[in-house]
Structure 1
């Protein structure tokens, strides 16, 4: 494995950086549309506008590009959330509006990657490297939740904010996943409304 990895290159020039990013983005779309196991490296290369040989100069196989897709997806998701939250005036926004805004931002981020998320759920239990990366991203999300809770700490009725960050983060993530990836028997608006009310009742005095 090490000898094969040595043959791949880390891009230094801007053109090579753009080529590698194009491969990652093409793979992300194909994994989302078709699934990881139904996609091959030839398709990824063609979608990125490069030769199959060029693909292998950057990645040893499609699992390697899947891992880079996971990195990129996590970074862009957090950047999208931070950009969305930065537009909020925390002094004037209502609690329900704030939580709903966060839920809607997550839903928008999940919408385009249904197939990709299904693969992540499977590979989390079968690939230790992917599991570790997903666990790290989970912790980043929890710490971000903790940060937002600490900003309004005086209004909280819970004394264990760290535990609360896990409960809130898990609750929001679970319902966002249900809305995004599961058959619906209850409307999205009803689920969001109950989620927001549950979090408000749990957190605030």
Structure 2
């Protein structure tokens, strides 16, 4: 089998895009385990040989799609932070970020649900998710560092992980598991919880 190549010409880039798009669609329709490489190639309108010229196997394709999806998720969560003064983060800024997390769960909920479930049985998928967790926690810690003059929390590294896990857990449960509750109520309580956990009582709101 020929080695996997990186597309450089527009036609090759388009072919790879068609494969990725077809796989994403079939994963949502049939499930990740219910989809094979031949079906992806057929859906994309390319030969199976073309599939293997861009991806070693279905697993490498899945990992690339997952990494791209998590990049889009990250950008969705941290968008428009320039609207806030980073070293004077208050309730509005905290609420804005939490709302973005909830909205990010709507980007591709079926794909998210399937890959989340595979974290516990597939070390490669878990590694991708752990890298993303570390990136999110690093970003939260950056915000805490910028507000350390107002902070009640002393261990900022631990605080960043606690905040990340709390928001992720509530959003994940609300969006993918249930029971259903009005999101605004959940966002408001998370905002108050994090604000009270982090910032001193004399901090301006």
Same-fold status (TM-score > 0.5): yes
Select the residue among 6, 11, 15 that pairs with 1:15: 11
Please, which moves more after superposition, 135-144 or 146-155? 146-155
Select the residue among 73, 90, 99 that pairs with 1:77: 73
Q: Secondary structure at the match of 1:104?
A: helix
Query: 1:64: Cα distance to partner?
Result: 1.5
Q: Secondary structure at the match of 1:125?
A: coil
1:160 paired residue number: 155
1-structure distance, mates of 2:147, 2:49:
53
Please, which moves more after superposition, 63-72 or 126-135? 126-135
Q: Secondary structure at the match of 2:105?
A: helix
State yes or no: 1:180 paired with 2:167: no
Give the TM-score, by structure 1 length.
Answer: 0.85
Q: Contact 1:25/1:69 (CA < 8 Å) preserved in 2? A: no
Unpaired runs of 5+ in structure 1?
Answer: none
1:76/1:186 CA distance change after superposition, 3 Å: closer
Deviations 1:66-96 (A, max 9, x none): 100111012222223333323x232798722
Give the TM-score, by structure 2 length.
Answer: 0.85
Write out the 4+ residue segments of structure 1 that deviate beyond 6 Å after TM superposition: 91-94
2:203 paired residue number: none
Figure out how many residues of one structure are paired with residues of the other and give that number: 200
Select the residue among 152, 171, 194 that pairs with 2:189: 194
1-structure distance, mates of 2:97, 2:174:
14
State yes or no: 1:27 paired with 2:27: no
1-structure distance, mates of 2:66, 2:180:
30
1-structure distance, mates of 2:162, 2:148:
16
